[in-house]
Amino acid sequence: MTKICILAGNLTEAKTWARGQNLEDNQWFYPVNTTDLAFRSDFHVITIGTAGLNTPSMYFEQIYSLAQKRGKIGRS
């Protein structure tokens, strides 16, 4: 099953969005940092709320780019 990677301003924001979409906990994840994405694959990336506003733009671009690349691995 393909999961959803939620890039949000914080975990609470991600949980609130996931709950609003009626997602089960096993259907989504919130990456705390780039290391959290290193071994994941086959997922879609959603950017919500204040994602990128509380972090330096270079860091947000780095995690967003990595999420896009890692998410495509294993998808058919």
Average pLDDT over residues 63-76: 90
User: How far apart (Å, rounded) are the C-alpha atoms in residues 58 and 40?
Assistant: 22
The token duo for 28 is: 């989504």
Average pLDDT over residues 57-64: 88
Number of H helices, E strands in the chain: 3, 3
Q: At 7, is the pLDDT very low, low, confident or very high (cuts 50, 70, 90)?
A: very high
CA 26 vs CA 1, 18, 48: distances in Å: 9, 11, 19
Asked whether residue 69 carries a pLDDT value surpassing 90, the answer given is yes
Per DSSP (E only), the strands in the chain are 3-7, 28-29, 43-47
The token duo for 12 is: 């609470």
Name which residue leads in pLDDT, 6 or 49.
Answer: 6
| pLDDT for position 76 | 66
